[in-house]
Structure 1
């Protein structure tokens, strides 16, 4: 049996990027076997479904054949495996990190739904307006928290928020988020100097 961790992976997915950043930061890349997998909403992937009936990525198959779904579960598993510090265990730092994680995942959900809607032949304008309203409100709040983000150690919370903001660069370039949140933009630019972020920038193809 292979001792590798098999990760169903795509360079486009912000949720996969979250896992890959953690793997880079924790020194676990040599233990990962990456399987390029397409998980389209309207076309379930039978190969992924052999291990994850939800047909979603990331999906991690462990050496014993057991499977972990969902990016945060996989990230916490990797952190535990490496004895890392990306998941604060107690006190206010834990709750702040988990809050930022939930915020980042929630923002990603809004952005992905927004993108899916705009790709429809006849997008519903009310939905498009609602997604844009939520994204702009999120940027306003995060901009007020930029100093706290910069002062915080790298964690699942800061990683997830950075992945969400990075997804705006990838799929919403014309949205101009940096002009709306200049303090957040400075924090994000500094974080993106880390090798783990440079190595995991989303790409097409």
Structure 2
């Protein structure tokens, strides 16, 4: 298998962490792709018509894209139960919450990076951060017990989302008011899979 990736993407990191946690990393060739919404990579478009990373090219069958699809596939292939049946809906909802944080945070990054400075829409940026802030509140008030449970995809996704906030939006200080979540992340970030995938 081949994974088309960019190390700064939190969605890619989620997949690569999953490769570490499932033991499937040796089976996958990692291919770095230089792509942006304004200049998508032609090989990536051939693999994923949306032009988004990650994309997993399989030896047989169509390319898989969207990190949730790829992670579910890898977990099923490895039999690691990162989507445990006894708490499946909680795990999926937690993963969706984390992915929502990633999506909003990436959109803020794109707004500031690709739009001319005199056209940056601050109200729109604030709206995206509002989504992140509400999701962080939900993690702090509703999900800490789940985060402290056995490893699953919800925890992996949250860890990657928080890591991306540190990478691109640390100035906003997401830990303030989310001390329980910050404490959890301090420990989770020490996992070997997180250390191995930390963006340079």
Query: Partner of 2:55 in structure 1?
Result: 59
Aligned length: 197
**Tell me, which stretches of 5 or more residues in structure 1 are unaligned?**
none
Residues 1-205 of structure 1: pairs in structure 2 closer than 5 A: 5-64=1-60, 66-89=62-85, 91=86, 93-119=87-113, 120=115, 121=117, 122-145=119-142, 147-203=144-200
The structure 1 segments of at least 4 consecutive aligned residues displaced by more than 3 Å after TM superposition are none
Residues in 1 aligned to 2:83 and 2:124: alpha-carbon distance in whole angstroms = 34
Q: Deviations over 1:49-94 (max 9, x none)?
A: 22222211111111125311111111111111111110112x4x11
Residues in 2 aligned to 1:151 and 1:125: alpha-carbon distance in whole angstroms = 36
C-alpha displacement of 1:112: 1.2
SS in 1 for 2:175: helix
Residues in 1 aligned to 2:176 and 2:158: alpha-carbon distance in whole angstroms = 17
SS in 2 for 1:38: coil
Residues in 2 aligned to 1:84 and 1:131: alpha-carbon distance in whole angstroms = 34
Q: TM-score, normalised by structure 2?
A: 0.93
C-alpha displacement of 1:146: 5.2
SS in 1 for 2:176: helix
Assess if the C-alpha contact under 8 Å between 1:139 and 1:180 holds in 2. Answer: no
Decide which structure has greater helix share.
Answer: 2
C-alpha displacement of 1:151: 2.8
C-alpha displacement of 1:175: 0.8
**Tell me, which stretches of 5 or more residues in structure 2 are unaligned?**
none
